[in-house]
A and B are shown apart, each in its own frame.
Chain A
Amino acid sequence: MTRYRLKKDNGGQALLFVVVALTISTVVGVAVATRTLYLSKRVASTDTYAKVYYAAEAGVERFVALSDEELRNISGDGGNAGSTCGPTSARWNTTGDKCEFELPETEDGGEIKTLTTVDVKQIQYNDQEGTNNKNYSVNVSHGSFSTINLRNYSGGSIVLCWRWDGAGSRALYYRLHSTSGLMSRKLIVPPDFSAPTTGSELPFETGTRGYRYCSSAINTSFNPSHVNVMSLGGDAVVGVFPSLTADLPFQGFEIVSTGTLKEGVTQIKVVKSIYVQRSYQYVPGFFDSAIYVGGNIVAN
């Protein structure tokens, strides 16, 4: 009996198999590693973004509740040449003419360090689209007053406009004050407003200046201090336009708080800015009521 020994030449298939297997595992390994790195980077990026956002928010929180006088001084319009950051514990950066601070360890809580810069300036207008259309607009809640500053305004008249979203209609009530008393008050009622319209309605214009209705020019030739505006029938946006001969006085402040990465994940560039518009302080609307209660009026 002849015995044959199995001797087969496979032409290096096993080696090829090993090489292919190694290649696949290497590719898979590299992909996994890359993905892990990518995820790590994304986590770091998200974490960094959140910290930078908090840094920007911290700037708003520190500055927005300051008094008008303190904010004027920081803006440089209060006689202090803008070289102070008031009671905020931030430091004045003479290069950028801004206030800046770092969040302390306890607030930041990690290796990522942020820098917050805050710029404060006074504003006269917050809506300036179109020629001669610059105005100061406020969101007015139904039945409550907002106040627009008119101190030292020399224009002789203003125009009040109002608009709203959705159906229905809105009337506008205003009270014009000097520093010594109430000068005039009027209800401006458009024709589609369904409530009783007797009383002191003013003429109105329709569809002008980007608003649904505007009043005719309101006389302010007696050194007014402010005008209170109230929307009736629902919430509205009220715009105050100066005459063509003068600008409105300052109405409040724009506070720009920017959070940036100072150290930590240096390969990630994150900047977050929060723009805040804050009016001058005024007396809350309930002072215009004889009786105002948060609960109920009960007779027993």
Chain B
Amino acid sequence: MKTKDNFRVSTLPPSFSDKDVKVLETSSIPNNYNYTVSGNGIAVLVVPANGSDRRLNISNVTANGTGRLMIITDRDVVIGESSRGSDPISFEIINPAHIQVSIITSGNITVANGPSPFYTLVAEGPLVASGNLTISRDPGHLVNELLPAFFVKYNPAYVLRLNNIAADGSVPVLKPLFTFDFSQEEK
């Protein structure tokens, strides 16, 4: 892994420390990316747009343990293009998601068809987009009769750990991610 400074990385690291914040300078999350966040914590990966390159592909991503990675980007995210998903026979609600990251983008999210044959794609939530969420994934009528093409499993670990960071202010660079109540009176 080439590291330019404390934040910037040109390739995805296999492991993160708790409360790590990294900026990825390339434009892809490799399929079948596997990562670990130590201490069952949370790490943040920022993927900025690179000129006209505003697309970010995310397919199968697996987390080791309960530590989680949150991807924050201003790109249009396309998910599942390399993921076959779960067929109706192997799908169970308790199975791990195919995309074990939370995605927050100021752009759009598109759920794409996978390599044939492809089935239900399961991602972890919260899944947040300022723009549209377009579900273009169509596994065909035989699958569609049984399961949705796209399924989001909410993982409360993200909000829980972020709340701890907001409360103790331990990651100042994440300050813009948080909000506060505000009231004003003039005298």
Contacts and interface: CB of A to CB of B under 8 A. Distances in A.
B175 A225 contact: no
Contacts of B136: 300
A286 B159 CA distance: 9
Contact of B163 (A276, A282, A293, A295): A282
Interface in A270-288: 272-284, 286-288
Contacts of A287: 126, 128, 158-159, 162
Given A182-B160, A286-B126, A275 B135 contact: no
B26 interface: no
A295 B131 CA distance: 5
A75 to B, nearest CB: 14
Contact of B132 (A180, A226, A278, A293): A293
B129 to A, nearest CB: 5
Interface stretch (B5-13, B28-36, B45-53, B166-174): B166-174
A177 B160 contact: yes
A279 B178 CA distance: 11
A47 interface: no
A275 B187 contact: yes
B132 A182 contact: no
A68 interface: yes
B183 interface: yes
A147 interface: yes
B125 A289 contact: yes
A278 to B, nearest CB: 5
A289 B126 CA distance: 6
Interface in A160-179: 177, 179
B108 interface: yes
B127 interface: yes
A67 interface: yes
Interface residues of B, dominant DSSP: mixed
B92 interface: no
A272 B186 contact: yes
B181 A279 contact: yes
B183 A281 contact: no
A60 B175 CA distance: 18
Given A278-B181, A296-B132, A283 B187 contact: no
Interface string B73-109: 0000000000000000000000000000000000011
Contacts of B180: 252, 278-282
Given A284-B178, A292-B126, A275 B162 contact: no
A67 B128 contact: no
Interface stretch (B14-22, B55-63, B149-157): B149-157
A149 interface: yes
Which of A252, A288, A299 lies at the interface centre, i.e. has the most chain B CB atoms within 10 A of its CB? A299
A282 B152 contact: no
Contacts of A273: 186-187
B128 A293 contact: yes
A199 interface: no
Contacts of A146: 181
A110 interface: no
Contacts of B166: 280-283
Contacts of A138: 181
Contacts of A297: 132-135
B3 interface: no
B130 interface: yes
B45 to A, nearest CB: 17
A194 B138 CA distance: 39
B133 to A, nearest CB: 5
Given A278-B181, A287-B162, A182 B126 contact: no
Interface of B: 108-109, 125-136, 152-154, 156, 158-160, 162-164, 166-167, 169, 172, 175, 177-187
18 contacts: A177-B163, A179-B160, A226-B167, A274-B187, A275-B185, A277-B182, A277-B183, A282-B163, A282-B167, A282-B180, A289-B126, A290-B153, A291-B127, A293-B131, A294-B129, A294-B131, A295-B108, A297-B133
Give me the 9 closest cross-chain CB pairs, A-B, nearest first: A290-B125, A295-B132, A281-B178, A279-B181, A290-B154, A287-B159, A69-B169, A294-B130, A299-B135
